Structure 1
Amino acid sequence: MRVVAAMSGGVDSAVAAARMLDAGHDVVGVHLALSRSAATLRESSRGCCTIEDAGDARRVADRLGIPFYVWDMAERFQRDVMDDFVAEYAAGRTPNPCLRCNESIKFTALLDRAVALGFDAVATGHYAQVVERVGSGGATVRELHRAVDPDKDQSYVLGVLDAEQLSRAFFPLGDTTKPRIREEAAARGFSIAKKPDSYDICFIPDGDTRGWLTSRLGERPGEIVDATSGEVVGSHRGSYGFTVGQRRGLGLDRSAQDGDPRYVVGVDAPTNRVLIGTADLLGVDLLRADHARWCGAAPVDEIRVGAQVRAHGEEVPAWARVDESDPEVVHVRLDSRLRGVAPGQSVVLYDGTRVVGSATIAATGLAGRTPSGIVEDSMTLTRRT
C-alpha cells in the first residue's frame, strides 16, 4: 500500500512513519508547512510546524531511507483554522482548533492531495486505534477507538473523521504508551527521541490567546454583568477574551460581590457583554450540537453513549439522538451535570472505546428548566446568553 506519512518533526510522527515502513508499505514522508513565518524557531515545547521541525522531519526520513517532501498548506490553514478560530471567538464561542485542523487539513486537504497523487492512505502519529471488524454482508468495517494510553489518547480530536476518511487513515501508535515510543525512537537512532512534545495552540506559541486575538480584533470595551441581578460589576477590553467557566482574569473585586468566586457563565457577543455568576450557574445537562460528523453510519434511534466535551475531560454517560428535522443536529442528554461547557466546544460521543461521532456545541441548558424556571420537554435547550 502506498502511504503518505505526515511528519511533523516530532517523535510520534517519526515512529509512526517507521512502523508503517516496517509493516511493508511504500512510505513517503510529508511535512506540512502551515505557517507563513516558518523561519520562526520553536521555543521549548511551544509551537510547531517551524523550520526547525521541518529539518527534524527530513533527518528522520533520511535515516529511514524514504522520500521526503514539504507541502505548503499555509493558505488553507490560515483560512480554515486560524480565521475560523478568530471568527468563533468574535462570535462568543470557544473553538477547538485541533479538531478543525484534523478535519480540514490533515484528513481533507492532505488526504485529498495524497489520493490525487495515487496514494492509498495517510498515517499520522496520533494516539488512537483503528479496529477492523466484519460488518453485515461480510464487508470489513473500520472503527476508531481510544488509544491504550489514556494520558495520550487523541481520539477526541479525531472524532471529526467520517467513514470514508477513516477507511484511509492509519494510527500506528495507538497500541503503545508514550514512554515506550520514546524508547523505540532512541533505539532507532532518531535524534529527536527526547524532543519535548508540543502543546497549547500551535499558532500561538507564547500561549497568550487573549493577546493574539486582540492583535487581530482590536480592543472592544464592554461590560461585565452579573447574570442574576443584571448589575454591571466591571468592564473588559473585548468579550472574545473570555470563555464559559473562566474564573481568572476577570478583574473583579471579590469583596464587593460577597467573597464567593465568580465565573464566566455566558458571552453575549452581539451586545459585547460578559455574564458572570456563581458556580451553581455553570452546570448543564443538555446540549444541542450541530455540524455532526459520524465515524460510521449515523444513529437512527436515540442511543446510549459516553459524551466528552474536552480533549482530556471526563466522559459522562448520556443519551444522544439526531434531530428529526436536521440530520446535522444532535441532542445530548447527560446523566449528570457538567460545568463550564461553552458553545463552540465539540462533544465527542463514544460507545465504550469506539468513537461514534462528534458535533459542535451550539447551545446548553438544564432538563426541565429554562432561565425563567418554565418546565419544558427534557430535550429542549435554551441558550444561556
Structure 2
Amino acid sequence: MKKVMVGMSGGVDSSVAAMMLRDMGYEVMGVTLKLFSDEDISEAQKEGKTCCALSDVEDARSVAYRLGFEHIVFNFKDNFREYVMKQFADSYLCGRTPNPCIECNRHVKFDKMLRRAMELGYDYIATGHYAVNEYDEDKGRYLLKRPADRSKDQTYVLYALTQEQLSYTLFPLGGLEKKQVREKAESAGLVNSQKPDSQDICFVPDGDYAAFIRRFTGCDTPCGSFVDMDGKVLGEHKGIINYTIGQRKGLGIALGHPAYVVKKDIAANTVTLGLESDLYTKSLIADDFNLISVEKLEAPMRVTAKTRYSQKEQPALVSYLGNGEYMVEFDEPQRAVTSGQAVVIYDGDIVVGGGTIK
C-alpha cells in the first residue's frame, strides 16, 4: 500500500483531498504545519482567520479522527520565518511587492514537508490545491495543468515546482468543482464542510502589510516625496512600504483628478503618481525562472501569461534573453505590472513555467 502525507490546513479542500486518497486505497497521514507563533504577528492575530490558528489544527485533527487516520503537527516556524516572512518584509523594503504564497509553496510545503515525508518513508505528499499533475510519456516530463474548476485555479502559485517535486506530489482535487468538494465534505459529515475559504495572507490577517513589516523588522521607511511623471514634487508620502503599484485609495493627496501609484524609487525615496493610462506596459523582464513543460526555451514561444493571481491569461511572446532572464511581450498593454510579483506562462492548459518580475 502506497503511503501519502497530506498537508491539512483545517480547511475543506485539504480535508476532502485526504478523504479521497484514503478512499483510493492509500495509507494516509494528515499533517498540519505550524508556521508562525503568536508573537510573530502580534496584535494582528485573529483566531480563526489564519491558516495555523488553534481552531484550524483542531479542525484538521477532527477530520483525521473521523476519517480514521493519524494526524500530527510539524513545527516549521523557523523555516517559514526565514524563507517567507523575512523575504516578504525584505522585498517590500526594497520597493518590490512579493507573493508569499509562492515562497511558502517553494520553500515549505513542497520542500521542507516533502523532505520530512521522504525521511519518514512516505511515497507521496498531497495538498488541497486545485491543479492537475500528469506525467507525459512522450516528453518524459511531469506537467502541471489547470484544474476543472477554472475559478479556483491555483497553478499560478505552483509554478516554482520542480520535476522532482512533481514526481512526489498528488493533487486529488484537480478534476473537481469547488461545489463538489463541499458536497463530498458534507456527505461525510466533516466539521469544516461549510468553512469559508481563507482570503488573507496568513501572517498578516488584518491586511496591514506596512504595520507587519514595522513590527517584524523594527524598520520603518522615512517620509519622502510624491512626484509626477516628469519628476515634479506633488507632496509628501508616508513611507514607501505603504504603497503598491496601481494603488489609488489611501494616498492622502488631492490632485483634482484620480491618481495612481505608477513607480516606486527606493534610492530617491519617491513615489511616482500618474494617470491610469500610465500604468500600462507591453513587456516585462523576469528572472528566477522555473520551466516545467520544457527543459529549456529553444526559441521565442507563443504563450498566454498572467502577472497576478486573479488576472485572466493574456496572449504574449516569451523569449530567453540569457543570464537567467526572460522577456514577456504582451499583444496588448497590461495594467500595473509589478516588480516582485510572478509572471506565469501557459500553453493552453499546461503551465510552461514562471518567474519573478524584475
TM-score if structure 2 supplies the norm length?
A: 0.94
User: Are residue 338 (structure 1) and residue 334 (structure 2) matched?
Assistant: yes
Question: What whole-Å deviation, never above 9, does each CA across 1:282-338 have from its counterpart, x for those lacking one?
Answer: 1111111010012242222111111111111121111112223x1x32111111110
Partner of 2:30: 29
User: Are residue 203 (structure 1) and residue 203 (structure 2) matched?
Assistant: yes
Q: Structure 1 291/72 Cα, relative in aligned 2: closer, same or farther at 3 Å?
A: same
Question: What whole-Å deviation, never above 9, does each CA across 1:124-165 have from its counterpart, x for those lacking one?
Answer: 0001112333215xx5x3211111112111111111111111
User: Are residue 319 (structure 1) and residue 320 (structure 2) matched?
Assistant: no
User: Are residue 121 (structure 1) and residue 124 (structure 2) matched?
Assistant: yes
Partner of 2:60: 57
Identity score, percent: 40
Answer yes or no: is the 8 Å Cα contact 1:234–1:252 preserved in 2: yes
Partner of 1:90: 93
The one-letter code sitting in structure 2 at the alignment partner of 1:262 is A
Partner of 2:20: 19
Partner of 2:72: 69
Partner of 1:248: 249
Paired residue secondary structure (1:224): strand
The one-letter code sitting in structure 1 at the alignment partner of 2:169 is A
Answer yes or no: is the 8 Å Cα contact 1:16–1:172 preserved in 2: yes
Answer yes or no: is the 8 Å Cα contact 2:47–2:54 preserved in 1: no
Partner of 2:282: 285
Answer yes or no: is the 8 Å Cα contact 2:7–2:31 preserved in 1: yes
Paired residue secondary structure (2:112): helix
Structure 1 residue 50: Cα displacement = 1.0
Whole-angstrom distance in 2 between the partners of 1:271 and 1:42: 34
Q: Structure 1 42/250 Cα, relative in aligned 2: closer, same or farther at 3 Å?
A: closer
Whole-angstrom distance in 2 between the partners of 1:126 and 1:150: 12
Q: Structure 1 90/42 Cα, relative in aligned 2: closer, same or farther at 3 Å?
A: closer
Whole-angstrom distance in 2 between the partners of 1:195 and 1:4: 22
Partner of 2:222: 221
Show the 5 A alignment for 1:366-385: none
Paired residue secondary structure (1:270): coil
Structure 2: 5+ residue stretches without partners: none
Paired residue secondary structure (1:151): helix
Answer yes or no: is the 8 Å Cα contact 2:228–2:234 preserved in 1: no
Partner of 2:165: 165
The one-letter code sitting in structure 1 at the alignment partner of 2:289 is A
Whole-angstrom distance in 1 between the partners of 2:114 and 2:189: 29
Whole-angstrom distance in 2 between the partners of 1:355 and 1:17: 25
Answer yes or no: is the 8 Å Cα contact 2:93–2:221 preserved in 1: no
Answer yes or no: is the 8 Å Cα contact 1:227–1:276 preserved in 2: yes
Q: Name segments (4+ residues, structure 1) moved above 4 Å.
A: 38-45
Partner of 1:179: 179
Answer yes or no: is the 8 Å Cα contact 2:38–2:45 preserved in 1: no
Partner of 1:376: none
Whole-angstrom distance in 2 between the partners of 1:247 and 1:224: 16
Whole-angstrom distance in 1 between the partners of 2:72 and 2:325: 39
Whole-angstrom distance in 1 between the partners of 2:62 and 2:112: 25
Partner of 1:380: none
Show the 5 A alignment for 1:121-140: 121-136=124-139, 139=140
Paired residue secondary structure (2:305): strand
Q: How many residues align?
A: 353
Structure 1 residue 209: Cα displacement = 1.7
User: Are residue 153 (structure 1) and residue 156 (structure 2) matched?
Assistant: no
Structure 1 residue 217: Cα displacement = 4.7
The one-letter code sitting in structure 2 at the alignment partner of 1:311 is Y
Partner of 1:366: none
Whole-angstrom distance in 2 between the partners of 1:299 and 1:205: 39
Whole-angstrom distance in 1 between the partners of 2:239 and 2:125: 40
Whole-angstrom distance in 2 between the partners of 1:45 and 1:108: 26
Whole-angstrom distance in 2 between the partners of 1:112 and 1:323: 33
Whole-angstrom distance in 1 between the partners of 2:339 and 2:136: 35
Question: What whole-Å deviation, never above 9, does each CA across 1:28-76 have from its counterpart, x for those lacking one?
Answer: 1111010112999984863221111111111111111111111000110
Whole-angstrom distance in 1 between the partners of 2:196 and 2:239: 34
* Two-structure CA RMSD over aligned residues (Å): 1.9
